[in-house]
């Protein structure tokens, strides 16, 4: 059966493909991913104080504390009453935010960045589901934006898949326009609750002061993980020659036989990469680079196995 244009693998975002990711993730642990990512960024796990199963610390006894949690050893050593504090067992919530700005509908081989972003969202979502977390998401594109509230069942994850595919289907013509990254971050600030794990997936084109301000606010009470989607042509040198381009100002030719144009392109590529890396290191946010030109699962595994 012939494949229609809107169902081309690696380009069209398909809900069935996102569901099928589940079978590829047997044996992987979302807890391991979180700890690995935190180690790579220097972050530490934050525990909430409450009645749970794991001892955290002892503090001076305050009237009204449960006498069953008295720390008799510390009291015998210090002569003052102390009570034990435990790490609270709390159901975690994960929010997967996917930026499908116009620049994401691009790829030189294997897949579009938009397709890779949806696949990565599915990987992250299924791993969080295996851990029993409540999963929700935000999807923003030039013609579509949607919020999926974290749900106790897999309804939140399936809702995210639906809106990823819907945003792709509404791309009936080549999309143009400014980055929607800051709009996505604004929506995140509006809906997110403190203590939520946020996975932000984007190519991060269009970073500016508003981007940094929004990230600063989000990192105060939440743990962020950034996934930088890119095409290899955006970080590697291009072969020499003339490249016809079509932009908002019309058609033009990028002449890479011209040393000045070649140097300008290399400078722009280097600047963007350094801007993304500096942004993550400045806020202590773990960052995972993902190329749309290679298998997503293998890159995720390699990212977990690489030394911090």
- State whether 27 and 56 are in the same domain: no
Q: Is the pLDDT of residue 39 over 50?
A: no
- State whether 98 and 124 are in the same domain: yes
- State whether 22 and 83 are in the same domain: no
pLDDT of residue 51: 39
- State whether 252 and 126 are in the same domain: yes
pLDDT band at 253 (very low <50, low <70, confident <90, very high): confident
- State whether 160 and 119 are in the same domain: yes
CATH code for the domain in which residue 237 is found: 3.40.50.410
- State whether 57 and 174 are in the same domain: no
Residue partners of 33: CB distance under 8 A and separation at least 6: 127, 304
Three-class DSSP labels, 240-255? CCEEEEEECCEEEEEE
User: What does the alpha-carbon distance between residue 187 and residue 13 come to, in Å, rounded to a whole number?
Assistant: 23
- State whether 270 and 168 are in the same domain: yes
Domain encompassing residue 80: 49-87
Q: Which of 149, 123, 155 is nearest to 137 (CA)?
A: 149
**Number of domains the chain is built from:** 2
- State whether 38 and 145 are in the same domain: yes
pLDDT of residue 123: 95
User: What does the alpha-carbon distance between residue 238 and residue 234 come to, in Å, rounded to a whole number?
Assistant: 9
pLDDT of residue 87: 55
pLDDT band at 144 (very low <50, low <70, confident <90, very high): confident
- State whether 278 and 183 are in the same domain: yes
- State whether 153 and 213 are in the same domain: yes
pTM of the complete model: 0.77
What's the pLDDT tens digit per position in 73-120?
888 888 888 888 765 445 678 999 999 999 999 999 999 999 999 999
User: What does the alpha-carbon distance between residue 140 and residue 233 come to, in Å, rounded to a whole number?
Assistant: 24
User: What does the alpha-carbon distance between residue 280 and residue 110 come to, in Å, rounded to a whole number?
Assistant: 27
From 87, 112, 147, the end of a domain falls on 87
- State whether 124 and 190 are in the same domain: yes
């Amino acid at each position: 059966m012939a494949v229609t244009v809107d169902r081309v693998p690696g380009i069209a975002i398909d809900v069935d493909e996102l569901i099928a990711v589940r079978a590829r993730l047997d044996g992987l642990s979302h807890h391991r991913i979180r700890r690995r990512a935190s180690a790579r960024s220097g972050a530490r796990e934050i525990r909430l104080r409450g009645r749970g199963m794991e001892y955290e610390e002892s503090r001076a006894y305050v009237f009204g504390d449960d006498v069953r949690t008295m720390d008799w050893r510390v009291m015998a050593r210090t002569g003052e009453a102390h009570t034990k504090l435990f790490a609270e067992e709390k159901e975690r919530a994960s929010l997967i935010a996917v930026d499908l700005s116009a620049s994401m509908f691009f790829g030189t081989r294997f897949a579009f960045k938009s397709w890779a972003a949806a696949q990565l969202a599915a990987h992250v979502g299924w791993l969080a589901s295996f851990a029993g977390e409540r999963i929700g998401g935000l999807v923003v594109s030039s013609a579509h934006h949607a919020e999926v509230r974290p749900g106790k069942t897999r309804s939140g994850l399936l809702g995210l898949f639906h809106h990823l595919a819907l945003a792709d289907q509404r791309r009936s013509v080549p999309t143009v326009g400014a980055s929607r990254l800051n709009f996505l971050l604004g929506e995140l600030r509006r809906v997110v609750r403190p203590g939520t794990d946020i996975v932000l997936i984007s190519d991060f084109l269009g970073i500016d002061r508003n981007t940094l301000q929004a990230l600063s606010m989000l990192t105060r009470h939440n743990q962020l993980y950034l996934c930088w989607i890119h095409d290899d042509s955006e970080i590697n040198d291009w072969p020499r020659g003339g490249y016809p381009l079509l932009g908002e100002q019309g058609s033009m030719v990028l002449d890479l036989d011209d040393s000045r144009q070649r140097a300008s392109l290399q400078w722009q590529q280097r600047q963007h990469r350094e801007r993304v890396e500096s942004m993550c290191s400045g806020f202590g946010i773990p960052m995972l680079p993902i190329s749309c030109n290679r298998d997503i699962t293998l890159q995720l595994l390699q990212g977990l196995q690489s030394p911090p």
